[in-house]
Amino acid sequence: MMFAMPRLRTSVRSFLSDESGIFLAEFLIMIPVLIWGFIALIVYWDVFRTINTSQKAAYSIADLLSRQQNVTTDFVDGLENVLDFLTPGTPDSRMRITSFQLDEGKVNKPEFDSDDKYCLLFSRSSSSLTPALTTTDLQKKEFVDKIPNMGNLESVVLVETWVDYQPKFDTGVLNAAPGVSDQTFTQFIVTRPRNWRRVTLDGVVHGCT
């Protein structure tokens, strides 16, 4: 019995110090993490690519509109096709174009309130989910806070876009990390007309002076 105890201790020490096969064990533990990291890198890169693409598309459309004086409904509606072309791979995109000017309450139509700050020239949307703006909408705080300072009778063109995004892979890890979910990237671009005083829509009568 006394001779068996040293042998047992020696066997235990030998077993504990044996590192054969440890590389394989570590590999089996780390390979799922490496695969998740690779997939997550692709998804996160795609997220930032989509944000960048939608932003460039909105600025391109705003720049195109800023060079116009009078546009038609066909021209405005056709810009939705431009947005779709510039944001490939997205499930859905929507756009709203609004032209308005700072009028300091000096409007001709009696239905306009004397306290109205912005006078609507026209507003057109490509989707019922984002209805066209009204003069009342333009006075709301969420719009006023985003609009830069303007001089009296100065006009701008507002381009708003909504680009839906769906990740190709689910990067969530149980309850530890929710991953990237379906979301919508929005852009709010305000641009002054380049060559004309304001941009108007053919056939739309406005009350701006």
CA–CA dist 115, 157 (Å, integer): 21
Q: Residue 9: is its pLDDT beyond 80?
A: no
Task: Return the closest-CA partner of residue 156 out of 191, 189, 119, 122.
Answer: 191
Q: What is the pLDDT of residues 60-92, one digit of tens each?
A: 999 999 999 999 999 999 999 999 999 988 889
Q: Which two tokens stand for residue 88?
A: 């490939």
> How much is the pLDDT for 39?
83
> How much is the pLDDT for 122?
95
Q: What is the pLDDT of residues 100-111, one digit of tens each?
A: 999 875 544 444
> How much is the pLDDT for 35?
84
Greatest mean pLDDT range, 39-43, 143-147, 187-191: 187-191
> Among residues of the chain, what percentage have pLDDT more than 70?
79
Yes or no: say if 99 and 123 are a contact pair by the CB < 8 Å rule.
yes
Yes or no: say if 149 and 136 are a contact pair by the CB < 8 Å rule.
no
Least confident of 32-46, 99-113, 186-200: 99-113
Tell me, what DSSP letter sits at residue 112? S
Q: What is the helix (H) or strand (E) element at residue 65, kind and residue range?
A: helix 22-66
CB atoms within 10 A of CB 37: 12
Cα-based distances in Å from 37 to 22, 51, 173, 183: 22, 21, 11, 21
What is the average pLDDT score of the chain?
A: 83
When pLDDT is averaged across residues 185-205 and rounded to a whole number, the result is 93
Query: Could you identify the residue written with the tokens 């110090």?
Result: 17
Q: Which two tokens stand for residue 100?
A: 């308005």
Contacts of 109 (CB under 8 A, 6+ apart): 207
Quick check: helix, strand or coil at residue 88? Answer: coil
Q: CA torsion, points 134, 124, 53, 45, in degrees to nearest 10?
A: 60
Using the CB atoms, write b or e for 87-116: b if 16+ within 10 Å: beebeebbbbbbbbbbbbeebeeeebeeeb
Q: Residue 208: is its pLDDT beyond 50?
A: yes
Residue ranges with strand state E in the chain: 70-71, 93-102, 118-125, 155-165, 183-191, 200-201
Q: Which two tokens stand for residue 8?
A: 């047992």
> Among residues of the chain, what percentage have pLDDT more than 90?
44
> How much is the pLDDT for 108?
47
> How much is the pLDDT for 6?
67
